Amino acid sequence: MKYQSEMLVPHKSALMNPCANVLNEDVCLPAAVIKKAALMNNIDWMQRYANARGVSLIPHGKTTMTPAIFQWQQRAGAWAIGVGSAWQANAAMASGIQRVLMANQLVGKANMQLISRLKSHYAEVDFICCIDSLANARTLSAFFRQQNQVLDVLVELGVVGGRCGCRSTDSALALAAEIANLPGLRLRGLELYEGVLHGDNPQPQVEALLRDAATLACQMAAYVDGEFILTGAGSVWYDVVCNSWLAAEKPAQCRIAIRPGCYITHDQGIYHQAQQRLIERDPIACELAGDLVSALELVAMVQSVPENHRAVVNFGKRDCAFDAGLPQPVAHYRHGTALPLPAGAISSIGIMDQHCMLSLTPGYDLQPGDILVFGTSHPCLTFDKWKTLLLVDDGYQVEQQLETLF
């Protein structure tokens, strides 16, 4: 059978009318939607937080991989966009981003070739990546020297049992000294990710890592010409990173940069909980006007009510994150009209590839064809299920289709 390259619709949440409203069934459901007002609130809030702390903001773009969102973050004042791979760096640069931090190691000839081509094509873009071994440093040095290019790098400091990164400050300092003498490389500073530390109360471990990093930065400063970049902080501990490093002794020309990512749409799960704890412990965040709000929702249709206490909706593992709790209903609509949804009346209890199973309280009126709106947890793994997300107003009128580059 010959493959038909021109499909009738370009993506799974396609608009069936040019002036589409999700609640009027003008959109193929399920659909991942982003509330525009909430999204812009979050972009503004996190930038104002970074400004209030006197640090730079490097949003982790791998959360969304959405060019329009990258551009909004850059226009709001983001110092750079963070990525995790050479492909993601390509996507960011093609989106017009002027500084890209790949908070990861650059390995493999093809990936090095891609970065080299990007450096030639986007000569005005400041690209930085991480190194945690002398073997990788020597490979990168030889490659970029042969290309008559200089690769800007940060030494990565890690923790035992974590992911990448030098396992001690001594090994990180020794690596910095070696990099300073390798052609084709330029050392720009130090990077870490404290989010690999877990447990019932990881904050003391996080603070100890940050203290070690500040001391190491001072020791490394001799190997860095000009500004020293000191960067860490995901979406959970960015206040602790600011508190520790702003109070610590550090290189004279030190730029502290935080790298949260999931704040962009926030959620109604793990990051909502983390933000509430942050607000409680950080007076600056508490006093800053407003807060982060959930912006990403999943809109789906009830396709079956086979039992009076059980229903099935038409989304599944192919459409949303399920690693940090199942999406839970937050609104119920019938024929475009909102219906009351008492707390606990509907609960998601199971998920398969294309189905989500719901538990209903006795007597709750749910019918096939009804629309349910779901709040999500851990936005990263919902974003990457969609080629296109729908930017909507508070009435679910579609304002823009946002293309992703996963």
- Which pLDDT does position 46 carry in this prediction? 97
The pLDDT value given to residue 7: 80
Cβ atoms 292, 46 nearer than 8 A: yes
Q: Domain 37-287 classified CATH 3.20.20.10?
A: yes
Calculate the dihedral angle through the C-alpha atoms of 388, 406, 144, 257, rounding to the nearest 10 degrees.
80
What pLDDT sits at residue 1?
A: 46
- Residue appearing with tokens 């038409």: 314
| Residue 207 CB neighbours (<10 A) | 16
Residue 397, SS3?
strand
Tokens of 285: 């965040």
Residue 298 — φ and ψ, nearest 5°?
Answer: -115, 125
**One pLDDT digit (tens) per residue for the chain, 406 residues:** 455 567 888 899 999 999 999 999 999 999 999 999 999 999 999 999 999 999 999 999 999 999 999 999 999 999 999 999 999 999 999 999 999 999 999 999 999 999 999 999 999 999 999 999 999 999 999 999 999 999 999 999 999 999 999 999 999 999 999 999 999 999 999 999 998 998 889 999 999 999 999 999 999 999 999 999 999 998 999 999 999 999 999 999 999 999 999 999 999 999 999 999 999 999 999 999 999 999 999 999 999 999 999 999 999 999 999 999 999 999 999 999 999 999 999 999 999 999 999 999 999 999 999 999 999 999 999 999 999 999 999 999 999 999 999 9
Contact between 277 and 322 under an 8 Å Cβ cutoff? The reply is no
Both tokens assigned to 329:
């209903």
Label residue 109 exposed, middle or buried (CB < 10 Å: 0-12, 13-18, 19+). Answer: exposed
Query: In the chain, how many H helices and how many E strands?
Result: 11, 18
Task: Work out the angle between the directed axes of helices 36-53 and 238-247 (0-180°, nearest 10).
Answer: 20
pTM score = 0.95
Instruction: Say which CATH class 20-34+294-403 falls into.
Output: mainly beta
Q: Do domains 20-34+294-403 and 37-287 have the same CATH topology?
A: no
Sign of CA dihedral 56, 206, 236, 404: positive
Domain map of the chain by residue range?
20-34+294-403, 37-287
pLDDT of residue 3: 53
Residue 218: HSE in the Cβ half-sphere, 13 Å Cα cutoff: 9
Q: Are 195 and 260 in contact (CB under 8 A)?
A: no
